[in-house]
Amino acid sequence: MLTKRIIPCLDIKNGRTVKGVNFVNLRDAGDPVELAKLYSENGADELVFLDISATEERRKTLTKLVHDVAEQINIPFTVGGGISSIEDVDMLLKNGADKVSINSSAVKRPDLIDELSNTYGNQCIVVAIDAKLIGDEWIVHLIGGKEPTSINLFDWAIEVEKRGAGEILFTSMNNDGSKEGFANNALARLSNCVNIPVIASGGAGNISHFIDVFKKGKADAALAASVFHFKEIGIKTLKKELRQQAISVRL
């Protein structure tokens, strides 16, 4: 049985870790380098770093900060934000990233997924999908959730797998920051649609939400931010509880 992964997420704006609710009302959550070191030491399986304003501000990811974080950790490290070319990925991998996450750039130019996967291997390519439930349909959004598309979440997920994505990071905009649980129905459907790992994001508020996302949502990994940043849930405590629920995790 593959172990389930617990992944803290560092959303970065102006060099600081931030966290909002439904993608807005951001508040400071601390120094990303210090947080990264803490998570690496306390049992996180991986770390995700998302430069959330890079695309909107039409600039590249903060490579020096990526390098500084990478120096402090010994777990797999995924970096996203403003990535639109092989050159961008080269720079991030040289500065310590193990994987890259692409989002808006992949929707605008789907061939980018093929290019990156063919160059680096699909294990290096995470496609992040931000989607919002509107009526009865999950709609993909771009530019940090600011720009709706006409694309259906599940159709897009199937396409990105065919193009060479190694993982999908699905964030429910409806659940983001709500602390009311993950979008488990959508996650379970997503997991049935694709054969690559699905990382769940958006809605973690307590340990039972993590139990549910693995049992009901069929997620391969659970990503969270504020519950870890503000020390509401300890990763070691969380993993012990998951083990007691017969969910396989690395202690």
What pLDDT digit, counting tens, does each position of 118-133 carry? 999 999 999 999 999 9
pTM of the model: 0.93
Can 11 be counted among the known catalytic residues? yes
- Residue 249, in any domain of the structure: no
What pLDDT digit, counting tens, does each position of 16-75 carry? 888 666 655 566 777 999 999 999 999 999 999 988 776 556 556 688 999 999 999 999
- Residue 32, in any domain of the structure: yes
- Residue 231, in any domain of the structure: yes
What domain count does the chain have? 1
- Residue 238, in any domain of the structure: yes
Q: From residue 140, how far is each of 79, 170, 173 by CA, in Å? A: 20, 10, 10
Structure tokens at 28: 């400071």
What per-residue string of b and e applies to 19-50 under the rule 16 or more CB within 10 Å gives b?
bbeebeebeebeebbebbebbbeebbbbbbbb
| Burial group, residue 82, by CB count within 10 angstroms (0-12, 13-18, 19+) | buried
Domain extent, residue 150, equals 5-244
Residue type (1 letter), 180: E
- Residue 228, in any domain of the structure: yes
CATH number at residue 111: 3.20.20.70
DSSP, collapsed to helix, strand or coil, labels residue 141 as strand
Residue corresponding to tokens 């039409």 = 58
Among residues 45, 51, 88, 130, the one annotated as catalytic is: 130
Q: Where residue 97 falls among pLDDT bands split at 50, 70, 90?
A: very high
- Residue 251, in any domain of the structure: no
Q: Determine contact, residues 187/221, Cβ cutoff 8 Å.
A: no
DSSP-derived secondary structure for 169-233: EEEETTTTTT-S---HHHHHHHHHH-SS-EEEES---SHHHHHHHHHTS--SEEEESHHHHTTSS
pLDDT at 27: 65
- Residue 105, in any domain of the structure: yes
- Residue 61, in any domain of the structure: yes
The region that residue 104 occupies, defined by phi over 0 for left and psi between -120 and 50 for alpha, beta otherwise, is alpha
Distance CA 133, CA 183 (A): 10
